[in-house]
Amino acid sequence: MIKKFITKLLGKPASGKPDFGRRTEVPASVHGIDPNLVDERAVNVVRTLQQAGFEAYIVGGAVRDLLLGLRPKDFDVATDATPEEVKGLFRRAFIIGRRFRIVHVVYGRGREHEVIEVSTFRAYLDNAAAEQVKGNERTSKRQLEGMQHAVDSSGRVLRDNVWGPQDEDATRRDFTVNAMYYDPQTQIVVDYHGGIQDAKKHTLRMIGDPVARYREDPVRIIRAVRFAAKLSQLGFKLESKTAKPLVEAKALLADVPQSRLFDEMLKLLQTGHALASIAQLKHLGLAKGIYPLLDVVVERADSAFVKAALADTDRRVGEGKPVAPSFLLACVLWADVRDGWAQRLARKDHPFPALQEAIDEVFDARIGDVSGRGKLAADMREIWMMQPRFEKRVGSTPFGMVEQPRFRAGFDFLRLRADVQEVDVTLADWWQEFSLADDATREDLVQQARAEQLAKPRVRRVPKPATGESRAAAPVADTLPSSDGDAAAPKKRRRRRRKPGGGDGVGAASEGAAG
Nearer to ligand ATP, 268 or 355 (CB): 268
Query: Among Mg ion, ligand ATP, none, what does residue 203 contact (CB within 5–8 Å per kind)?
Result: none
CB 198 within 8 A of CB 183: no
- Going by C-alpha positions, the residue among 474, 430, 462 that lies closest to residue 337 is 474
Residues 198-257 binding ligand ATP (CB under 6 A) are 217, 219-220, 223
Cβ proximity of 119 and 160 under 8 Å: no
Q: Which of residues 71-90 bind Mg ion (CB under 5 A)?
A: 74
- Spatial CA neighbour of 59 closest among 136, 132, 5, 119: 119
152: left (phi over 0), alpha (psi -120 to 50) or beta: beta
Kindly report the backbone phi and psi dihedral angles of residue 372, in degrees, each rounded to the nearest multiple of 5, phi listed first. 85, -10
Name the minimum Å distance from CB 221 to ligand ATP.
Answer: 10
Three-class SS string for 378-403?
Answer: HHHHHHHHHHHHCCCCCCCHHHHHHH
Should residue 381 be labelled a site residue for ligand ATP when binding is judged by CB under 6 A?
Answer: no
Q: Is 352 helix (H, G, I), strand (E, B) or coil?
A: helix
Under rule CB under 6 A, how many of the chain's residues touch ligand ATP?
14
Classified as helix, coil or strand, 339 is: helix
Among 61, 155, 208, 210, binds ligand ATP (CB under 6 A): 61
Say which of 160, 174, 379, 429 is annotated catalytic: 174
Min dist. Cβ of residue 292 to ligand ATP (A): 21
Pick from 393, 390, 396, 402: which is nearest to 435 by CA?
A: 402
Whole-number Å distance between alpha carbons of 431 and 428: 5
Nearer to ligand ATP, 268 or 474 (CB): 268
Q: Does 272 bind Mg ion (CB under 5 A)?
A: no
Q: Considering the complex, what minimum distance in angstroms separates the CB of residue 99 from ligand ATP?
A: 10
How many alpha carbons lie under 13 Å from residue 449 in its C-beta half-sphere? 28
Q: Name which position in 18, 21, 61, 146 contacts Mg ion (CB under 5 A).
A: 61
Active site residue 74: yes
DSSP three-state, residue 107: strand
Residue number, nearest CB to ligand ATP: 61
- Of 20-28, 72-80, 461-469, 490-498, which part binds ligand ATP (CB under 6 A)? 72-80
Any catalytic annotation for residue 336?
A: no
Q: Which is nearer to Mg ion, 317 or 354 (CB)?
A: 317
Residue 18 touches Mg ion, criterion: CB under 5 A? no
**Rounded to an integer, what distance in angstroms lies between the CA atom of residue 310 and that of residue 434?**
27
Positions annotated as catalytic residues are: 74, 76, 174
Residues lying near Mg ion in the complex (CB under 5 A): 61, 74
Residues lying near ligand ATP in the complex (CB under 6 A): 60-61, 73-74, 76, 173-174, 178-179, 217, 219-220, 223, 271
